[in-house]
């Protein structure tokens, strides 16, 4: 969640989309997509980078669409057609980023390692009038290995020391963020929330983390 103290650098902030300057993560990703440096994948299908999205499709999801609505004419019983924009994305509605990872045990070093495979910005849902409603929607997936060159050349904002340069690639590789597990590989491709209700989801998430640590510990002999 971007509102957590350790994750505040992920919050959207008005800035620049010029590669090489301090810039928010979503601006870096959108800039990379528009310049053809990285490819966006449809998050409504799956998280397996199955269907790529065109630049136009991404822009359509961001800018919304034109729709015709009928509004009453004052002092009359008649209605008139009015064209309005619907579904335009507010960048401040980005509530979290999903990160897809591959955890594995390295027999050579005797420790658990992780590969980051994908990044997915997630936004809060709004109705056709722009009011917030329950739920949230993933925007698109980015294949992380293909985006590393871009992210390595984009500086994240460092609130503690402006002279200490950290790229977005540094942030991810060094895991300078807090997170919780919402899904593990399973036959039914279900999230933890699909099987566990309410606050028990956090307990189940922590249990998955503990299982990873215990697995690594059990691989050692004393």
User: Can you tell me the distance from the alpha carbon of 26 to that of 61, in angstroms, rounded to the nearest whole number?
Assistant: 14
Q: At what angle do helices 25-34 and 144-151 cross, to 10 degrees?
A: 100
pLDDT of 157 over the 90 cut: no
User: Can you tell me the distance from the alpha carbon of 154 to that of 23, in angstroms, rounded to the nearest whole number?
Assistant: 7
pLDDT of residue 66: 56
pLDDT of residue 19: 46
User: Can you tell me the distance from the alpha carbon of 222 to that of 219, in angstroms, rounded to the nearest whole number?
Assistant: 10
The band of 42, judged by pLDDT with boundaries at 50, 70 and 90, is very high
pLDDT of 217 over the 70 cut: no
The angle subtended at Cα 64 by Cα 94 and Cα 33, nearest 5°, is 65
For the segment 161-165, the average pLDDT, to the nearest whole number, is 66
pLDDT of residue 172: 94
Q: Kindly list the domain boundaries of the chain, sorted by start residue.
A: 5-57+93-178, 180-222
Lowest mean pLDDT among 14-18, 21-25, 105-109: 14-18
User: Can you tell me the distance from the alpha carbon of 127 to that of 112, in angstroms, rounded to the nearest whole number?
Assistant: 43
Helix, strand, coil tally for the chain in percent (to 5): 30, 30, 40
User: Can you tell me the distance from the alpha carbon of 1 to that of 121, in angstroms, rounded to the nearest whole number?
Assistant: 11
Tens digits of residue pLDDT in 111-130: 778 899 999 999 888 776 66
Element (H, E) at 42: strand 40-42
- Which CA distances in Å does 45 have to 34, 71, 114, 128? 22, 36, 25, 23
Tens digits of residue pLDDT in 170-196: 999 998 988 877 777 665 566 655 665
pLDDT of residue 143: 96
pLDDT of residue 212: 59
């Amino acid at each position: 969640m971007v509102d957590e103290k350790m994750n505040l650098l992920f919050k959207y902030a008005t800035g620049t989309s010029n590669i090489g300057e301090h810039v928010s993560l979503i601006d870096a990703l959108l800039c990379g997509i528009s310049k053809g440096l990285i490819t966006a994948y449809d998050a409504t299908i799956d998280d397996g980078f199955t269907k790529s999205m065109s630049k136009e499709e991404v822009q359509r999801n961001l800018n919304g669409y034109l729709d015709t609505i009928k509004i009453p004419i004052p002092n009359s019983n008649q209605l008139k057609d009015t064209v309005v924009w619907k579904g335009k994305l507010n960048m401040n509605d980005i509530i979290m980023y999903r990160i897809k990872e591959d955890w594995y045990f390295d027999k050579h070093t005797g420790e658990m390692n992780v590969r980051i495979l994908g990044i997915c910005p997630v936004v809060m849902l709004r109705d056709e009038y722009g009011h917030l409603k329950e739920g949230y929607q993933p925007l698109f997936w980015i294949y992380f290995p293909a985006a590393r060159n871009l992210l390595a050349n984009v500086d994240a904002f460092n609130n503690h020391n402006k002279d200490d340069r950290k790229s977005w690639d540094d942030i991810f590789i060094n895991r300078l963020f807090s997170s919780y597990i919402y899904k593990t590989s399973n036959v039914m491709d279900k999230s933890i929330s699909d099987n566990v209700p309410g606050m028990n989801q956090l307990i189940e998430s922590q249990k998955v983390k503990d299982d990873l640590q215990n697995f690594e510990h059990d691989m050692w002999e004393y």
